[in-house]
Amino acid sequence: MKTDVVIIGGGPSGLLLSQLLNRAGVETVVLERSPRERVLSRIRAGVLEAGTVEMLQKAGAGERMLREGHPHEGCIFSDGDLMVRIDFGALTGKTVMVYGQTEVTADLYAAQDAMGATILHEVSEVAIRDADSDAPFVEFTHDGARKRIDCAYVAGCDGFHGVSRRTIPESVRREYERVYPFGWLGLLSRTPPAHDELIYANSANGFALASMRNPMLSRYYVQVPLSDRVEDWSDDRFWERLKSCLPGEVAETLVTGPSIEKSIAPLRSFVSEPLRWGRLFLVGDAAHIVPPTGAKGLNLAVSDVFYLHRALIDAVRHGETAGIDSYSERALRRIWKAMRFSWSMTMMVHRFDGEDSFAAEMRRATLLHLSQSETARRDLAENYIGLPF
Q: Which residues are catalytic, by number?
A: 72, 200, 292, 296, 384
Strand partners, 171: none
Is the separation of the CB atoms in 131 and 154 below 8 Å? Answer: yes
Answer whether 61's CB lies under 8 Å from 20's CB. Answer: no
Which range touches ligand PHB (CB under 6 A), out of 136-144, 236-244, 287-295, 324-332?
A: 287-295
Binding ligand PHB (rule: CB under 6 A), the pick from 47, 194, 201, 251 is 47
SS3 content of the chain, % helix, strand, coil (to 5): 40, 30, 30
How many of the other CB atoms lie within 10 Å of CB of 209? Answer: 24
289 binds ligand PHB (CB under 6 A): no
State the Cα torsion 195-196-200-206 to the nearest 10°.
Answer: 10
Q: Taking CB within 5 to 8 Å according to partner kind, which of ligand PHB, ligand RFL, none is near residue 293? A: ligand PHB
Q: Which of residues 7, 16, 131, 295 is near ligand PHB by CB under 6 A?
A: 295
Question: Closest Cα partner for 244 from 195, 212, 202?
Answer: 202
Task: Choose one: 28-36, 195-203, 267-275, 358-366; the region binding ligand RFL (CB under 6 A).
Answer: 28-36
| Strands 70-72 and 96-98, sheet pairing | antiparallel
Under rule CB under 6 A, residue 46 binds ligand PHB: yes
- Please give the Cα distance from 12 to 179 (Å, whole number): 24
Choosing from 5, 7, 9, 269, the residue that interacts with ligand RFL (CB under 6 A) is 9
Nearest approach in angstroms of CB 82 to ligand PHB is: 20
- Name which of 126, 120, 121, 186 is nearest 161 in CA terms: 126
Size of the site for ligand RFL (CB under 6 A): 33
| Closest CB 204 distance from ligand PHB, rounded Å | 21
Q: Residue 212: CA atoms inside 13 Å, Cβ hemisphere, count? A: 22
Q: Which of residues 31-70 bind ligand RFL (CB under 6 A)?
A: 31-34, 39, 44-46
* Distance separating alpha carbons of residues 104 and 15, to the nearest angstrom: 10
Q: Is 118 in the site for ligand RFL (CB under 6 A)?
A: no
Shortest Cβ 193–ligand PHB spacing (Å) = 10
Q: Considering the rule CB under 6 A, would residue 219 count as an interface residue with ligand PHB?
A: yes
Of positions 213, 285, 323, 335, contacts ligand RFL by CB under 6 A: 285
Omega of the bond leading into 274 within 30 degrees of 0 (cis): yes
Among 62, 69, 292, 323, binds ligand PHB (CB under 6 A): 292
Cα 122 to Cα 112: distance, rounded to the nearest angstrom: 17
CB closer to ligand PHB, 16 vs 209: 209
Rounded Cα–Cα distance for residues 224 and 387 (Å): 30
Q: Taking CB under 6 A as the criterion, which residues in 175-204 touch ligand RFL? A: none
Minimum distance from CB of 211 to ligand PHB (Å)?
A: 3
Between 246 and 295, whose beta carbon lies closer to ligand PHB? Answer: 295
Query: Binding to ligand RFL by residue 292, rule CB under 6 A?
Result: yes
Query: Where in the chain does DSSP place strands (E)?
Result: 2-8, 28-31, 47-48, 70-72, 74-79, 82-87, 96-98, 118-120, 124-129, 137-142, 145-156, 174-189, 199-202, 208-214, 217-224, 259-273, 276-277, 280-282, 288-289
Q: Is 136 in the site for ligand RFL (CB under 6 A)?
A: no
Q: Encode burial over 187-204: b for 16+ CB neighbours within 10 A, e otherwise.
A: bbbebbbbbebbbbbbbe
Smallest separation, CB 76 to ligand PHB (Å): 12
Give the footprint of ligand PHB on this chain (CB under 6 A).
45-47, 198, 209, 211, 219, 292-293, 295
Give the footprint of ligand RFL on this chain (CB under 6 A).
8-14, 31-34, 39, 44-46, 101, 123, 126, 157-159, 161-163, 265, 284-285, 292, 295-298, 301
